[in-house]
Amino acid sequence: MKMLKTILKQFFDKPATTTFPYTPLENFEGTRGHLVFDPSKCTSCMMCMKRCPSQAITVQRAEKIWTLDRFRCVMCGNCVDVCKFDVLSMEREYAKSATPTERGVETYEITYVKPERPKKETAE
Ligand code: SF4
Ligand code: SF4
């Protein structure tokens, strides 16, 4: 009888699974979500790469390329804390849309341009 009750309950209950990423996932208080990178502010200082415990970040300074391997990232937030230039942040949403990437690796071209120093005025 107990088993029959369970079976009947399954017929009328909503499915336990979700259709993410087609329907957005609900996030909870304290959710770290995912890492967001702003290529226009990155100075290629490489601190995030040095302090990442899972080697998820690669910075190619000469090529101006910043790479994140999402499968390696454990969302610890270390890189956000060490970046002095406000380039990295954590967004609470898991992902806005499912973006197909090569094995979870996202590559960004760094667009930051160092501002020119104002020229010293020469005394005449
Ligand atoms: S993201 Fe921040 S810490 Fe990482 S290389 Fe760019 S400026 Fe440096
Ligand atoms: S959140 Fe943590 S694991 Fe992920 S890239 Fe940053 S330092 Fe690495």
**Average pLDDT per 10 consecutive residues for the chain, totaling 124 residues:** 87 83 79 91 98 97 95 94 96 63 86 88 66
Q: Which of 31, 47, 49, 52 to mutate to test the pocket of ligand 2 (most atoms within 8 A of CB)?
A: 52
Q: What was the pLDDT predicted at 35? A: 93
Range of the domain at 55: 37-94+101-113
Any bridge partners for residue 91, and if so which?
Answer: 34
Q: What was the pLDDT predicted at 81? A: 97
Q: Is 47 in the pocket of ligand 1 (CB under 6 A)?
A: yes
Q: Is 88 in the pocket of ligand 2 (CB under 6 A)?
A: no
> In this structure, which residue's CA is closest to atom 7 in ligand 2?
52
Interval between CA 70 and ligand 1 midpoint (Å): 17
Within a domain: 28: no
> In this structure, which residue's CA is closest to atom 2 in ligand 1?
83
Whole-Å CA distances, 73 to 3, 6, 27, 70, 106: 43, 40, 18, 5, 12
Q: What is the pTM of this model?
A: 0.77
Within a domain: 109: yes
Within a domain: 66: yes
Within a domain: 13: no
Within a domain: 122: no
Q: What was the pLDDT predicted at 74? A: 94
Structurally, how many domains does the chain consist of? 1
Q: Give dist(CA 41, CA 119) in Å, integer.
A: 23
Within a domain: 63: yes
